[in-house]
Amino acid sequence: MKININPAVDPRERIIVALDVPTAIDAIELCDRLPQVSFWKVGLELFIADGATILRELKSRNKRIFLDLKLHDIPNTVGSACRVATKYGADFLTIHAAGGKAMMRAAQTEVQGSSTQLLAISLLTSISSQELASDLKVNLDLPEYTAQMVLMAQSCGLTGAVCSPHEAAALKARLNSQSDLDFCLVTPGVRPQGSEIGDQSRVMTPQQAIEAGADYLVIGRPITAAVDPVAAWDQICQECG
């Protein structure tokens, strides 16, 4: 089932808050402090610690779930992992586009007909242009490499990707000319006006990211590490319009 991306949707539903905490107890505490949040991201640390517990808890609270496992392995292994992951009822699940076409097709086959939508990781935002060229030996420049990964994911039947907000506008234009299928872009690297950028190198404000074409924004520390997370959430919602 595809997620319906309605531009008139309540902007608060576009914000996915990263539950980057070590245990289910910490995660539940954060959910209790922020009952307004409807979409939570569970990443590797929390999933490895207490995955089944927190996913069950989020479902019981009728929350939407972004399961950010960034899977990357041989097609059979990733396909099987995706099949099992659909049982958690997550809305989004990530796999690395760099795993290649056979891997992405195997994954897509396994989620087909479930409520889980796969998102392709185009390139980790922690990889710089220099690392891409000198360490990973990729000959394309970073924006072109990212675009190629996302277009490859689309050609394998995926309907969404994670990218930097700086790449969203160019990607949207290229994706739209390829297909009339709705393709969803999810962007981390979002910082509200006046907040610390931390280890994110290229950031945009929530409003800029949405204007650039982001359908969903992943925001962690500006909300979860704020002195007053509720006030931080409210400010971000206001910035989203």
Q: Does 21 bind ligand C5P (CB under 6 A)?
A: no
Binder among 21, 219, 232, 236 for ligand C5P (CB under 6 A): 219
Which region among 23-31, 49-57, 140-148, 212-220 touches ligand C5P (by CB under 6 A)? 212-220
Binder among 33, 72, 105, 221 for ligand C5P (CB under 6 A): 221
Phi-psi region of 189 (alpha: psi -120 to 50; beta: other; left: phi over 0): left
Q: Does 61 bind ligand C5P (CB under 6 A)?
A: no
Q: Does 162 bind ligand C5P (CB under 6 A)?
A: yes
Q: Does 54 bind ligand C5P (CB under 6 A)?
A: no
Query: Which residue is at the shortest CB distance from ligand C5P?
Result: 220
Return phi, psi of residue 193, to 5°: -55, 135
Nearest-10 Cα torsion for 71, 76, 79, 85: -70
Give me the sign of the Cα torsion angle 99, 104, 105, 110. positive
DSSP letter at 110 equals H
The rounded distance, in Å, linking the Cα atoms of 209 and 125 is 15
Binder among 107, 120, 218, 236 for ligand C5P (CB under 6 A): 218
Q: Which of 30, 85, 41 is CA-nearest to residue 63?
A: 41
Collapsing DSSP states into helix, strand and coil, what is residue 206? helix
Collapsing DSSP states into helix, strand and coil, what is residue 117? strand
Based on CB atoms, which residue is closest to ligand C5P, 184 or 219?
219
Q: Which of 70, 101, 137, 172 is catalytic?
A: 70
70 is catalytic: yes
Based on CB atoms, which residue is closest to ligand C5P, 162 or 212?
162
Based on CB atoms, which residue is closest to ligand C5P, 124 or 231?
124
Are 222 and 191 a contacting pair, CB within 8 Å? yes
Q: Does 107 bind ligand C5P (CB under 6 A)?
A: no
The rounded distance, in Å, linking the Cα atoms of 113 and 110 is 8
Based on CB atoms, which residue is closest to ligand C5P, 151 or 162?
162
Q: Catalytic amino acids? A: 70
Give residues in contact with ligand C5P (CB under 6 A): 18, 20, 41, 43, 124-125, 162, 188, 198, 200, 218-222
